[in-house]
Amino acid sequence: MSKIKIILDTDPGNDDLLAIIMALKSELIDIRGMTIVGGNASLENTTNNALSLLTYMNRVEVPVYIGDPSALNESSTSPEEFDEFKSHRIEIHGETGLHVSLPSPSIEPRKIHAVDFIISEAEANKGELILVPIGPLTNIAMAIKKEPNIKDWVKRIHLMGGAVNVPGNVTEHAEFNIYCDPVAANEVMSSGIGIKLCGLDITRNTSVKREETDWLHGNSPGEKVIRQLLDTVFKKIPDRNYFSLHDPITVLSVLHPELIEWELFDVSVICNGPESGKTLGTVNAGGSVAVGVNIDQDLAKIKIAEILSN
Ligand code: BDR
Ligand code: CA
């Protein structure tokens, strides 16, 4: 059976780390490359985290491409807004994006820009490539803008972002990835590309609880580093009793879409004002965005643990 070709567009990020290890471990996934975006930490940190993780996992053949810092950065916002945003992300992901230390990278990012890699891979694998963005949608929107034909070339996008029927997690209205670059998110949602949207509707409550210390019990390098990470998160954030599997569910949705109940919507994003980053969904049987509205949480967690234990 041929493998599923994906590009993982990521901003590692604690839960990104789990998702990346899943993609590396799944026998059904052919990870063509990782494209990096700023979000959970600066672009420099997220790039470093990706390279360090591949070094740790002994998967240095997977190419890494640097992309965009994402719209929400020091130069695009007021100092107050940026400070507030930064303290939110530091609380969740720490200063550098990860609550676990990894070895220094033994590899360098490739010279090509992430956006150009996305375009050339899509062209070379017409009808086969699935984009899996699990961070702000800046790189994906830039790729669509630079090469509109990409809409016909990619097979689908499975993305982590948004909160269609539930409240946000950065503000009352907005989910983090969409909040970071609402304009990009709006462009991607309205591109007409078939999207499977894994938003907070299905990801927030699918979580590892503080007391579930035996969720992963194997001794592979991936399982060990994840156990260490969960342990640190629960120690550092004493009032947090769960760790949401946002990004891992998005990778899972590529492998096991049947665990999720999907409903077709038209989705747009509010791009400014107090509701900036809010995802607005209207049910439409002819819509291009399949929103995950329900998930078999227990089975999803079992499957994720299974893949991580490979
Ligand atoms: C999303 O935001 C990030 O903090 C996580 O990595 C995930 O992609 C959840 O809102
Ligand atoms: Ca992420």
CA dihedral 79, 82, 87, 92 (to 10 degrees): -170
Please give the angle made by the CA atoms of 4, 257 and 9, to the nearest 5 degrees. 55
Q: State how far the alpha carbon of 110 is from the alpha carbons of 1, 23, 47, 162, in Å.
A: 30, 20, 11, 30
Cβ–ligand 1 distance for 187 under 6 Å, the answer no
Question: Tokens at residue 257, please?
Answer: 């879409």
Q: Residues with Cβ < 8 Å from 4, sequence gap 6 or more? A: 28, 29, 30, 130, 254, 255
> Mutate which of 176, 202, 207 to test ligand 1's pocket (most atoms within 8 Å of Cβ)?
176
**pLDDT string in tens for the chain (310-residue length):** 799 999 999 999 999 999 999 999 999 999 999 999 999 999 999 999 999 999 999 999 999 999 999 866 555 567 777 777 777 778 777 788 899 999 999 999 999 999 999 999 999 999 999 999 999 999 999 999 999 999 999 999 999 999 999 999 999 999 999 999 999 999 999 999 999 999 999 999 999 999 999 999 899 999 999 999 999 999 998 999 999 999 999 999 999 999 999 999 999 999 988 898 999 999 999 999 999 999 999 999 999 999 999 8
Ligand lying nearest the CA atom of residue 170? 1
Cβ–ligand 1 distance for 243 under 6 Å, the answer no
Lookup result for tokens 């041929």 = 2
Distance 174 CA to ligand 1 centre (A): 11
Rounded Cα gap, residues 296 and 134, in angstroms: 20
Domains of the chain as residue ranges with CATH: 4-308 (3.90.245.10)
217 by Cβ neighbours in 10 Å (0-12 / 13-18 / 19+) ranks as exposed
Cβ–ligand 1 distance for 176 under 6 Å, the answer yes
Active-site residue flag, 256: no
pTM: 0.96
Ligand lying nearest the CA atom of residue 14? 1
Question: Tokens at residue 64, please?
Answer: 């890494």
Distance 175 CA to ligand 1 centre (A): 8
Cβ–ligand 1 distance for 177 under 6 Å, the answer yes
Distance 247 CA to ligand 1 centre (A): 7
Closest ligand 1 atom number to CA of residue 247: 8
Using an 8 Å Cβ cutoff, are 132 and 248 in contact?
no
